[in-house]
Structure 1
Amino acid sequence: MEQPAGFWVRLGANILDGIIMGIILAFLAFLIYGDVSRVGETSPLDLLSFLYGLLLPVFWRGYVIGKKLMGVRIVQKTGEDVTIINMLLRLVVGGLVYALSLGIGLIVSAFMVGMREDKRAIHDFIAGTQVVHAEEG
């Protein structure tokens, strides 16, 4: 059984991912639009960001760049690699739950990751996933 990743390592991975994707999207916005001020606006770059979070874990054994740097990855509850269905449930349905609860679900999830023994958040339960420390080697 792989060791579940706790709140701080998951937060660190998300912050790193936000910084990395922010830099990449700002660079692309500059190339496409001529300035970076449009990064916060709705644009085709939003699709790129969504696809990054959806597809990279499927093709890279549960990693996105931030998680890889922090030594954690997303897996199915069984320990198998995630599928496109797991990631769709995790991102889309989990995101809808957080939006419809006006962010309360996100706060509850943070407490769940910090306090539960299995460190699973609401989106992990929806998708049948967990975030674990990557195996050495």
Structure 2
Amino acid sequence: MFMNAGFWIRLGAILLDGLIIGLPVALILMLITGNGFGEERISNFLSMLYSILVPVIWGGYTVGKKICGIRIVKLDGEPPGIGTMLMRHFVGGLVYGITCGIAVIVSAFMVGLREDKRSIHDLIAGTEVVHD
């Protein structure tokens, strides 16, 4: 049985992903596109692809999660598939968008306070983030 990952380790993994993957991608795009047009959209699209595809390809890990020793798994302990990650990202994102971000705050409290440490997008997709 895995031990669920709490708020701070998950936040650390997100920040590491942003620094290690997001920042270099943004800088490269800025150099390629010059200062501007479409840069933010391309960066957002690449970030979305990263957050959906890398966990599918890499058994539930992103670079930040691997460094922190945590990963996304389905409730049966299996790595997430593309359908699971699409549910987690898009349906969860829809909930967060419809609530104008209030659900993001609720999710942070859920991860910090719930015994199973699952957020709204985890509940939607049937996933959890666990320590290795």
TM-score for both structures, normalised by structure 1: 0.89
CA drift of 1:41 comes to 4.8
Match of 1:67 among 53, 65, 68: 65
Structure 1 stretches lacking a partner, 5+ long: none
Is the CA contact (8 Å cut-off) linking 2:33 and 2:39 kept in structure 1?
no
Q: What SS does the aligned partner of 1:12 have?
A: helix
CA distance, structure 1, for counterparts of residue 38 and residue 113 of structure 2:
33
Deviations 1:1-27 (A, max 9, x none): 100000000011111111123322223
CA deviation after TM superposition for structure 1 residue 130, in Å: 0.2
Closer, same or farther: CA 122–39 of 1 in aligned 2, 3 Å: farther
CA deviation vs aligned residue, 1:64-101 (integer Å, no higher than 9, x gap): 01101110000001111100011001111101101111
Residue in 1 that maps onto 2:119 = 121
Counterpart for residue 58 of structure 1: 56
Percentage of pairs with the same residue? 56
Match for residue 79 of structure 1?
Answer: 77
Query: By percentage of residues, which structure has more helix?
Result: 2
User: Structure 2: which 5+ residue stretches go unaligned?
Assistant: none
Give the aligned length: 132
Aligned residue for 2:71, secondary structure, equals strand
Match of 1:101 in 2: 99
Report the TM-score, using the length of structure 2 for normalisation: 0.92
Distance 1:46 1:114, change over 3 A: same
**Match in the other structure for 2:4:** 4
My pick for the range that moved more, 44-53 or 3-12, is 44-53
User: 1:26–1:44: structure 2 CA closer, same or farther, 3 Å change rule?
Assistant: closer
User: What displacement does 1:29 show?
Assistant: 1.0
- Separation in structure 2 between the aligned mates of residue 73 and residue 39 of structure 1, nearest angstrom: 35
* Compared CA separation, residues 16 and 40, structure 1 to 2 (3 A): farther
Change (3 A) 1:116 1:78: same
Residue 133 of structure 1 corresponds to which residue in structure 2? 131
In structure 1, the residue corresponding to 2:40 is in which secondary structure?
A: coil
